[in-house]
Amino acid sequence: MPDPSPDSAARRTRILDAAVRVFATRGHTATRIADIAQEAGVAYGLVYHYFGSKDALLDTVFDENWATFAEVVEGVAASDRSARDKVRVVLDYALASAETYPERVQVILLEYGRRARLGQALTHAHVARVVATLRALFQGAAARGELAPGAVPEVLPVVLLGALQSVIVAMLVDREPLEAAAVRSTILSLLSVSDASPEE
Amino acid sequence: MPDPSPDSAARRTRILDAAVRVFATRGHTATRIADIAQEAGVAYGLVYHYFGSKDALLDTVFDENWATFAEVVEGVAASDRSARDKVRVVLDYALASAETYPERVQVILLEYGRRARLGQALTHAHVARVVATLRALFQGAAARGELAPGAVPEVLPVVLLGALQSVIVAMLVDREPLEAAAVRSTILSLLSVSDASPEE
Amino acid sequence: MPDPSPDSAARRTRILDAAVRVFATRGHTATRIADIAQEAGVAYGLVYHYFGSKDALLDTVFDENWATFAEVVEGVAASDRSARDKVRVVLDYALASAETYPERVQVILLEYGRRARLGQALTHAHVARVVATLRALFQGAAARGELAPGAVPEVLPVVLLGALQSVIVAMLVDREPLEAAAVRSTILSLLSVSDASPEE
Amino acid sequence: MPDPSPDSAARRTRILDAAVRVFATRGHTATRIADIAQEAGVAYGLVYHYFGSKDALLDTVFDENWATFAEVVEGVAASDRSARDKVRVVLDYALASAETYPERVQVILLEYGRRARLGQALTHAHVARVVATLRALFQGAAARGELAPGAVPEVLPVVLLGALQSVIVAMLVDREPLEAAAVRSTILSLLSVSDASPEE
DNA sequence: TATGAATGAGCTTTCATTCAT
DNA sequence: AATGAATGAAAGCTCATTCAT
């Protein structure tokens, strides 16, 4: 069998991108394979040729994008920065992604919610990586007294992800006029104020 | 037409309660009217008789429970407490409800997420009341310097609701072992530390 | 819940009868539920309301009709006749049924073939009853020397059913001009000639 | 165009053999071209290259194998034996084939059944040859008084084929424990008993 | 010849909603 | 008010067939 042609890979990507757009616009349930195929400009059956099922397609979108996020988070966590700066960088990355690829971010956040409903969000491999990395990060910060008093490092990852989701969805979907800078500084306030770097 | 008999009201309530259980267990999409009717022990058609449609039924669940929450929040906001204490009471109420009526809370939070997807969460009347009340509360606190440095009062309600949703869903559905006390103190750390009241 | 109204039973029967006609005409694979619904003059979904699935519908046709045949065979076997007469009566019943209800017979025979392909023909409850009853009948005949020399009683039921199927399908579907009397006497020749009753 | 290379012929045969195995295992409807291609170890499209369509492929299997059987039957009929011996040889050939090439036999018998359903079995060229040859054979036997009393020569071919199909399918698919010798002597008992040759 | 990606018609099944009783 | 049979639109998935390379 010949190696996957560039054409083939391009087709796959086109379908994946189309899927992101349609899932973001309509949500999982209301999305029809026919919509994705049309949006991608390919035949109906080709979606199944590449992805096997609607759920598998959504899983792929979810996996690939959370994997990217997990890598970013892990990279930042491994870098040589203060805990506060690490969190700031992660937040900036998330907020910037939301501005640059709103549909992509929307899908993975909303699908995160859908999985939460099924008890399959925090157990998802890449999500779990993010949570674990953040937890370690916050535990280190706690040990150095860098957390706000009362903030519990084991709870913070879930709070952070929830706050991020809520805020981004509010901005993207509900068109709530929240400023990225305000969002960043608000969430950052969960970390200790002692290291009050100039926010802007 | 005669006034609603007690029987009639009881039937309606039975259906509503059954709907909460089924929606919580299966989610909106996977819930079938037949499931609700069976769970309530009533005839299929009666669900339509009382609620008109599946969506209307879910709307009713959503409305009634957010209305209750909105009233609590408004009541607390109007009470004579410090901002920190008000938020603490609201948090306690939310966490206690999640323990006492997990299915009810699960439905309104997850359905909140579904509506967010459609841009109809923060614009929902009762949700908007909660947000507005919290915003005013945080704005007052900000004016009195009671917020953590960097925390923006307009952003805080969305952050708070998102964190709450995330945390409660994690506890209820993902069975993440988070302690209510830890959750409370973590979220409370968003408020200024100056007023470090004894947490318990 | 009210007992099944006569209407309801009639509807069910109408669908069943329509199914027999369509299955006989087109075979299992080529039969679409839409055809059956149309033939029965009912809505599409009603077929599912009563039978759950296409296969379950076909199973019902198969079961009910083989059950009837099994009862006839068992009744005849229990009657006070010579083995030869018993077989004659069974043959007559089968051939007469094929003339009176050709579609019904066609369906159960052809579906018999389809199940044979899956190794589920002779193990089907009612088919197995027929085979077992015939086997006992032939074993008794063998003990009394009533079988043709060489005929093995354990093999005869399968031979008999195969011959019957072949002959009836040839008559019904392939329109091979075989006479019932000739068919009967030919198959009967498997039994001993000693009891040469006047065949016509 | 160059004459078919040995390679080409070998490929064709490989596909045909694979088709026999898959058709035998799954039946006509459940067989997918993809299965056959995989079983044959060739590319998907090559099946179409050689056979044009799924049905044409099955037709080829059916044709080639019934042609072989027809030739055997005709050869036997033309040979210098008693009618009883001719039938015995045909039976032996069929039963031996079923043991040696169970999949091949299974396909042509079950496909025979499928065609019967469509009224296209007895009219198939090679099947018709077999039936005609057997009919002539039985008519000759009848004229010489070699048939069991009551056996009608025009009916016997169909009875014989049906019995054979039933018995072989029972052995191959339903795993009914029938002995070849018992089957042979039972079916042979349709011929006159006068010439009771030693069965073995 | 050979490959396998691409196409799209067709089918089963589900289930919200309606309605006669 | 109450019942549940009846309706039919909708959508996921399969797979024979085509075709560009």
CATH number at residue B146: 1.10.357.10
Look at A18-22, A63-67, A167-171, B172-176 and tell me which has the smallest mean pLDDT: B172-176
Q: Does A183 touch chain B (CB under 8 A)?
A: yes
Question: Domain ends where: D13, D36, D52?
Answer: D52
CA gap A57, B120 in Å, rounded: 26
Q: Which of the four pLDDT bands, split at 50, 70 and 90, describes residue C3?
A: very low
Dihedral of the alpha carbons of B1, B4, B6, B7, in degrees to the nearest 10: 70
CA gap B159, B188 in Å, rounded: 12
Nucleotide nearest to C43 (CA to C1'): F7
Mean pLDDT rounded to a whole number for chain A: 89
pLDDT of amino acid C197: 46
pLDDT of amino acid D5: 60
CA gap B114, B124 in Å, rounded: 12
Nucleotide nearest to B7 (CA to C1'): F1
Q: How many Cα atoms occupy the beta-carbon half-sphere of C27 within 13 Å?
A: 17
Nearest CA to A133 out of A43, A65, A71, A54 is that of A71
Q: Which residues contact B80 (CB under 8 A, 6 or more apart)?
A: none
Residue C196 lies in a domain: no
CB–CB of D158 and C165 under 8 A?
A: no
Helix axes A6-30, A33-40, angle to 10 degrees: 140
Tell me, yes or no, whether C119 and C181 share the same domain: yes
Cβ(D51)–Cβ(D15) below 8 Å: yes
Tell me, yes or no, whether B40 and B101 share the same domain: no
Quick: pLDDT tens for D8-34. 889 999 999 999 999 998 889 999 999
Bridge partners of B191? B147
pLDDT of amino acid B200: 40
CB–CB of D150 and C186 under 8 A?
A: yes
Residue B76 lies in a domain: yes
pLDDT above 90: residue D36: yes
Nucleotide nearest to D8 (CA to C1'): E1
CB–CB of B117 and A189 under 8 A?
A: no
Q: Does A24 touch chain B (CB under 8 A)?
A: no
Tell me the residue range of the domain where D86 lies. Answer: 55-190
Nucleotide nearest to B48 (CA to C1'): E17
Through-space separation of residue A45 CA and nucleotide E4 C1' in angstroms: 14
CB–CB of A116 and B174 under 8 A?
A: yes
Through-space separation of residue C2 CA and nucleotide F14 C1' in angstroms: 41
Residue D197 lies in a domain: no
Chains that touch D (3 or more CB pairs under 8 A): C
CB–CB of B173 and A116 under 8 A?
A: yes
Cβ(B183)–Cβ(B152) below 8 Å: no
Q: What is the DSSP letter of A128?
A: H
Quick: pLDDT tens for D106-141. 898 888 888 877 788 889 999 999 999 999 999 999
Q: Does B43 touch chain A (CB under 8 A)?
A: no
CB–CB of D166 and C169 under 8 A?
A: no
φ, ψ of residue D43 to 5 degrees: the values are -75, 150
Cβ(B167)–Cβ(A162) below 8 Å: yes
Number of domains in chain C: 2
Q: What is the DSSP letter of C79?
A: S
Tell me, yes or no, whether A99 and A132 share the same domain: yes
Chain A environment of B187 (Cβ under 8 Å)? 159
Tell me, yes or no, whether D109 and D124 share the same domain: yes
Owner of token pair 């009683």:
C153
Residue D200 lies in a domain: no
Tell me, yes or no, whether D34 and D71 share the same domain: no
Question: Domain ends where: D34, D52, D70?
Answer: D52
Quick: pLDDT tens for C154-196. 999 999 999 998 999 888 877 778 888 999 999 998 887 544 4
Of D148, D156, D176, the CB nearest to C193: D148
Chain B environment of A145 (Cβ under 8 Å)? none
Q: How far apart are the first and last CA of chain D?
A: 54
CATH number at residue C28: 1.10.10.60
**Would you give the distance in Å from CA B161 to the centre of its chain?**
9
Q: Does A182 touch chain B (CB under 8 A)?
A: yes
φ, ψ of residue B147 to 5 degrees: the values are -90, 155
CA gap A57, D143 in Å, rounded: 73
Through-space separation of residue B53 CA and nucleotide E16 C1' in angstroms: 8
CB–CB of C163 and D166 under 8 A?
A: yes
Cβ(C138)–Cβ(C147) below 8 Å: yes
Quick: pLDDT tens for B89-128. 999 999 999 999 999 998 988 888 788 777 888 899 999 9
Through-space separation of residue A11 CA and nucleotide E6 C1' in angstroms: 11
Closest alpha carbon within chain A to B195: A149
Tell me, yes or no, whether C88 and C167 share the same domain: yes
Helix and strand counts by DSSP (H, E) for chain A: 9, 0
pLDDT of amino acid B76: 97
Tell me, yes or no, whether A121 and A42 share the same domain: no
Most confident of A24-28, D72-76, D192-196: D72-76
Look at A8-17, A104-113, C32-41, C79-88 and tell me which has the smallest mean pLDDT: A104-113
Look at B91-95, C44-48, C174-178, D195-199 and tell me which has the smallest mean pLDDT: D195-199
Residue C131 lies in a domain: yes
pLDDT above 90: residue A191: no
Q: Which of the four pLDDT bands, split at 50, 70 and 90, describes residue B6?
A: low
Q: How far apart are the first and last CA of chain C?
A: 56
Residue A140 lies in a domain: yes
Q: What is the DSSP letter of B79?
A: S
CB–CB of D174 and C119 under 8 A?
A: yes
Average pLDDT value for residue range B174-188: 87
User: Measured between CA atoms, how close is C100 to chain D, in angstroms?
Assistant: 19
Q: Does D169 touch chain C (CB under 8 A)?
A: yes
pLDDT of amino acid D51: 97
Chain D environment of C182 (Cβ under 8 Å)? 152, 154-155
CB–CB of D149 and C189 under 8 A?
A: yes
Q: Does D196 touch chain C (CB under 8 A)?
A: yes
Closest alpha carbon within chain C to D123: C174
Tell me, yes or no, whether A6 and A84 share the same domain: no
Look at A8-22, A67-81, A107-121 and tell me which has the smallest mean pLDDT: A107-121
* Single-letter residue type at A23: F
Residue A32 lies in a domain: yes
Chain A environment of B123 (Cβ under 8 Å)? 174
Tell me, yes or no, whether B85 and B133 share the same domain: yes
Residue D195 lies in a domain: no
Through-space separation of residue A38 CA and nucleotide F20 C1' in angstroms: 22
Tell me, yes or no, whether B42 and B118 share the same domain: no
Tell me, yes or no, whether C81 and C177 share the same domain: yes
Question: Domain ends where: A52, A69, A94?
Answer: A52
pLDDT of amino acid A5: 61
Tell me, yes or no, whether D26 and D80 share the same domain: no
Burial (CB count within 10 angstroms: exposed 0-12, middle 13-18, buried 19+), residue B1: exposed
Through-space separation of residue C39 CA and nucleotide F11 C1' in angstroms: 25
